[in-house]
Amino acid sequence: MELDFERCYRAVDSRDQRFDGWFYTAVKTTGIYCRPSCPALTPKRANVAFYPSAAAAQRNGFRACRRCRPDAAPGSPEWDVRADVVGRAMRLISDGVVDREGVPGLAGRLGYTERHLHRMLTAELGAGPLALARAQRAQTARILIETTELGLADIAFAAGFGSVRQFNDTILEVYAQPPSELRSRRPAAYTGAGTITVRLAYRPPLHAAALLGFLAARALPGVEECDGTTYRRGLSLPHGAATATLIPADRWVSATLSLADVRDLAPAVSRCRRLLDLDADPAAVDATLAADPALHAAVEAEPGIRVPRAVDGFELAVRAIVGQQVSVRSARTTLAHLLSHAPAPTAATAQPDTPSTPTSSAPLPGAKAQPAGPQPDDAARPTETQRGLAAFPDAAVVAGLPDSAFRMPVARRESIRALARAVADGELDLDPGADRDQAAARLAALPGVGSWTAGYVTMRAIGDPDVLLPTDLAARRGARALGLPDSPTALAAHAERWRPWRSYALMRLWRSA
C-alpha cells in the first residue's frame, strides 16, 4: 500500500481523526507508533515514518503509544469496501480465523497457498498474516489484562497465544511493559464474571438514531431487543454463547459483552463493529452522495447514516427470504413463530459480584473520563441472561425444524431449508470473508431466491457497500419522494453516480420512504 508522505504528515500535523486506522505514525527518536490524531507534540518530518498497519509498525520495532492507544483505532474502511483477497483476509483475521485455524485455515478459506497469501498481505500491509494476527492478540490481551481478574496465564491462552512466554514477550515488545505492570496501572471496580466492557471507536459522524431505529423495527423477541438508545442481542461465537449490549455515545460505542469463554472476545468485538458498520468512512460516503443535488439536503440533515450489517450471515439470509414481499412486522411475526420451535442455545451467564474492571479499549483524545464500575441503577437493571436473549439457531437446527415451524407458503419454507442445507454442508459461505460475487451467484441459484434477496444478503451479511435494489418498493417510494426517477431501470441508471456507496444511498432512500 503506497502512503503519500506529505498527505500523511499534514493529517498528523492537524491531528485529523478521520485518518485514524488508515495509517500509523512511527517516531524514530522515541521508538513509538501513534494514530494520526495523537495529541502529543507533532514530531519533525525527518523523525517520522508511516505504516499501513499496526502490525507493520510493530514488525519494524516500534511500540504502541500509551497516550493514544493506536492499536485500538477504528479499522481501516478499506477492508469493508474491498472485495479482493486482501480485504477478505483482513475481515477473517479480525474475526479470529488465524487464532482458531492457523494460516493454513485462512489460506484454505481464501483459495490461495500460504506463501502467496503472505506475499500479498506483506506487499499491501507491510506484515504477513501471522504478524497481523499477533497484533490483534496483543490488543485482546491488553483488554483482558485491564478489564478482568483472570490470571495472566489464562489471559495468554484466551487471547490466542501459544505459550505464556510468547505472551510475555509480545506484550513487552508492543507496549514496553510486562503484563503485570499493565494490570497494576488500572483502577479498581466491579462487574460480572465473564463480562467485559470496551469502547468501540468509530469515525464521526454516526447517526445513531437511524441505526438503532432500523434494528429496533426488525428486532426478534428472544434474540435481540432495542429501546431506541440501547441495543442488546444474543451471539453464537466460536467457543460458546454470548450476549452483547451496545450503547452509542459521542465518538465511541460502549459494548458490554457477557462471554461464556473469554477466547471469544476478539470475534465478539469484530462482529459488533461489523453489525454497526463502525469502520466506515462517513466523510467519504457523504461527500459522494451529497454531490447529487437530489440527495444533498438529506445528507446535510442526517450525516453519518450507516448500513446495519449482521453478526451471522445465515441468520440474515433467513430473515431476507422470510421478508420477501411481506411487511417488516409480518416478517417479525413469522420469524418469532419459527424461533418458538427451535431449541435456542443458552446465552452467557454473568455472576454479579465478581471483581473485574470495565475500562476503555480506546481512550479517545478529548473524551471526558467516565466513572468506573457500576452506576447507581445497575443493581436494579436485569441482565441479558435474565431476559433470555440467545443467538439465532444455526443452519443445521433450522434445516431440521418441522413443517409446523414455518408459517409461510410451502415454496418459501423449502427455500429456507435449501439455504440451511447449503450453509450447513459448507456449499454456501456467508461470512464477511466470502467472495461477494460467488456468494450472490450461489444464493441466486437456490430455489425461490431472486436478485432482491441475493443483493440484500450481500449488502448486509457480506458487507458490500455498493448494492442497489432498484425493484424494491420502498426504495422506489423514497426515490419518488426525493424527486428521483422511480422506475427500476431509470433509478439504476441514475444511481451510477453514487458508486461505490450505493448501499448507503439505498439506506437514505428507505428513510425518505
Q: Which of 264, 431, 466, 472 is catalytic?
A: 472
Cβ-contact 285, 295 below 8 angstroms: no
Q: Which stretch of DSSP H or E encloses residue 85? A: helix 85-94
Amino acid at residue number 197: T
Cβ contacts of 240 within 8 Å, gap of 6 or more = 259, 260, 261, 264, 348
Amino acid at residue number 295: L
Cβ-contact 211, 302 below 8 angstroms: no
Active site residue 227: no
Cα dihedral sign, 260-261-262-265: negative
Grid cell for residue 318: 433467513
Cβ-contact 119, 126 below 8 angstroms: no
Find the Cα–Cα–Cα–Cα dihedral 85, 86, 89, 90, rounded to 10°: -150
DSSP 37-53: T--SPPPPGGGEEEESS
- How many Cα atoms occupy the beta-carbon half-sphere of 410 within 13 Å? 0
Grid cell for residue 375: 452506576
Q: Which of 34, 65, 226, 272 is catalytic?
A: 34
Active site residue 472: yes
Q: Which positions are annotated as active-site residues?
A: 34, 472
